[in-house]
Amino acid sequence: MDEFVRVETDHAVATIRLDRPPMNALSADVLHSLGAAASQVSADPAVRSVVLTGGQKIFAAGADVKEMSAQSYAQMVATHSRLLQDTFRAVAAIGKPVIAAITGYALGGGLELALCADFRIMGQGARVGQPEILLGIMPGAGGTQNLPRAVGMRRAKELILTGQPFTAAQAEDWGLVNQVVPLDALLKTTLATARRIAENAPISIRQAKQSMHRGLQMSLWDALAFEIEAYNRMVPTDDRREGINAFNEKRKAVFRGR
C-alpha cells in the first residue's frame, strides 16, 4: 500500500504487514493505509485468508502518543478516535479469516488491533497489554469489549485496570492466543495455518465465520435458526457438489468459490 503498510499476496493468502519502524506506532497515516489494506483484501476474490503482522521485534506498540499530544480535544474526538475505530472496524469486518501473528510487543492499540483478528498466534518472548490507564486514558478501539470476550471479564478487568503487560505463556493459558511458537517459526506457522484455511471452500468459510460471529449475539434458539439458514445457502453451490464428489472419489477437492 505504501511505506508503512504492505500487502503481500502468495496464492490465496494475503499478508498485511505493518512497517513503520521502530515501534509500528499507529499514526494517522498508518491507520489510513491499514483501512485501505483491509478494504483491498476484502474486495479481492483471489484472497481466501489473511495474515496480520508487524516487524520481527514489534507487532504494534500502540497509538502515536507524540501525534496525539499535539491534538486538541476536538481533534482527538472528531479525528483521531473516529479514525482509529473506523480502521479497526474495517479490519474486523474483513470477510475472510484473519490470523494475527504477534511478534515482540503488542500494546494498547496494538493489542486491540490483534483482537480484531479471528484468532492469534504468538511468538515466544512477546508481550501484550492494555496500558492506556497509565496515561490517564482507557482502551478506545475495542479493548474493553474484545478483551473480555477473549479472556473473560474478571481477567480483562485486572489487565485493563492495572495496565500491566503479560507474557505469551499467560496469553495462551488465558485463551487470548491459540498457540505460542518460537519467534523464528511464527510467520511460517501462521502462513501454514492460513494456507490450510484457504484450501477450504470460500463460501463455507464465510458462512461459518458469520454464523459464529452473529450467533454469539443471539439467544441459542435464534442462533441455531441463523445457523441453518447459513447452511442452506451452501446447498445449491458448485463447491458443495465438488466437496461431496471429491469425498466419494477419494481425491482432494478443488473449491472455486461458487
- Burial code (b: 16+ CB inside 10 Å, e: under 16) for 180-204 equals bbebeebbebbbebbbebbebbbbb
**Chain CA centroid to CA 203, Å:** 19
Q: Catalytic annotation on 108?
A: no
DSSP notation for 86-134: HHHHHHHT-SS-EEEEE-BEEETHHHHHHHTSSEEEEETT-EEE-GGGG
Phi, psi angles (nearest 5°) of residue 100:
-90, 130
3-class secondary structure, 10:
strand
CA-closest candidate to residue 176, choices 116, 119, 123: 119
Query: Which is catalytic among the residues 54, 112, 194, 243?
Result: 112
> Going by DSSP bridges, is the β-strand pair 105-107/58-60 parallel, antiparallel, or unpaired?
parallel
Candidates 14, 25, 61, 63; catalytic one? 63
Is residue 3 part of the annotated active site? The answer reads: no
Query: Greatest CA separation found in the chain?
Result: 66
From the list 47, 44, 52, the residue with the least C-alpha distance to 26 is 52
Catalytic annotation present for 63 = yes
β-strand pairing of 119-123 with 179-181: parallel
Please confirm, yes or no, whether 112 is among the known catalytic residues: yes
Q: Which of 100, 108, 126, 132 is catalytic?
A: 132
Catalytic positions: 63, 109, 112, 132
